[in-house]
Chain A
């Protein structure tokens, strides 16, 4: 069922590159036009899994991947007809943190930067503690885009709140405005800044990260465009995440790949959204941590404040 057009295009020096079935360096070469001559010029390519590979320039063919301004335009429009939602089943989370690792890899984050953060929660003094993965809530009434002075963070029609780091001025008003602490800032040069130097900015993955600008979870918008589930959803070994299009009322589990009705899932399990009293209308739904699959083994209990 997987589309065979898993593509990732990176543009450099005016040459656009198409590579199908990106897994490792060799598969890139085999899938490109087989021009035997080598020009000796190497080009850096970013695979969808976040790996950086070097390819000979002569072996690349121009493809339909847009340049930066096209990419920004496309990134602002979003995927037509979609309305992405995530459902997080708190009863399944055992703090394996595979989601955090996959996310940091995909978005080139430093170890202390989290687009998704698995928190140890306890709602009140005597209630049971539980693990809570917390991505950006992609609010439908987003307090962060409200305050952005330059329209660098914005809401797309498919529900995703995205950031344009070619425009962000680094005022950090959005961090102050976000009640979910979902945003991070590049206080220093980002991880592997040297390595990704010259790689064209991809707004839908927010890579390469840029010093002095904001970053946060984007539901892996670049992967969604390729028909793939977000990095964290795919990486989870415990079936915590469901992800899908609310308009077609279906969500798919990242671990079991099972597809179920979104409305039935959230109704049957009495789903809730985080801090709904704030009126932010999150797009991330939580299934309560009832009948937990794993015992809580945390050590960092802090009272929910």
Chain B
């Protein structure tokens, strides 16, 4: 394919090496003007690196970049912006206690000759952009007061305000609710209509199918293919991304629930500001059952997990495992009573990143026989244990027992946690966002593991912001809204729309009518 003005971006033979690690190896990219182009790849495949090179954050070791048919040398993001390239990062770069307008104009302030800001002019400009693309956002609201979806819009507005023609969105849907995702896709449509070009980095196949025209697949730093999205199935995309056949649908037999092992009865929990964020919540989980809690972030999921694991006080009500009350004791007691938790933020709460894999694998058990004896740690036993787990859970790289967990990929870090928690033989396993940020292969593996555990008669509490995950995996689905369970359904008796409606605060009765 030649270099042509038809293309907003063309990249040729891009190579990038970090230390001994080849992040990109001869990657090419062709993005047609006025289209949405998806870049698909597993975590660590090199998609973000490629886009950071396009945005001038990294310099390629070799390779060429053409914008609108002309060769460019993008040394830093300012040059990228001057060429009309904008990027919205996965982690937003906004000043929390500034207003939307202030954030947008930051670095490109409109002022008169005395250096006094002309806010009204800036505001009007922003309003016109807002109107044009349907990016509904209050220009006077403070960033800390608006939702994540809104913050993303501010980031997009920031780019548009700087007059970009090519917008790179890095994992834009990772933090959004289903409704927000729909709105984002709609906004992207508006931008395309106006002649802008969009590149989205993602590993969510469904969204690619819904929005993009073309898709470039990268695997392990290598260019695989560019395909027209309408020509391929989701499973084809997944296979290309992973490099082998992937099973997208969770295979599981119908649940055979046993007796109730875990029982939350009317608990009320206060947050740090002494506001009740969980009000009279009750929940029961049976053996051999996966109970999924669907809900938008910030509706009490975090506090619920903290209350169960005794990291937070319960002001009233009881939490029982196997009939023993555990509320308001301490985390160790909870673990000893047979509750294991895969925490949401694995790097902050699940792992000690500067401990070895072996050390992390016994983070809860180091005091127990045979891992230690009379206060002296038995490294031999720990090694035996982790070696077995590395084999069982296919933790990569092989023989990683004595390397730091920090050096493992996200998926393998999560496997270490799961291996550790499952080895506790818990009666209840709490999994909070267990697949967040993981690639398809790892997600498939983790889902399979959870189902296997269920089949062994364990109770599993799954908390996830990804509705698909809840719908596919749970035997029972509960919806949490504003600290209360607003509906509980058996799998298959409810559709995604209804759950989404309840998650957003809709009333059960209104639907029934």
A and B part of one assembly: no
B residues adjacent to A (C-beta < 8 A)? none
A residues adjacent to B (C-beta < 8 A)? none
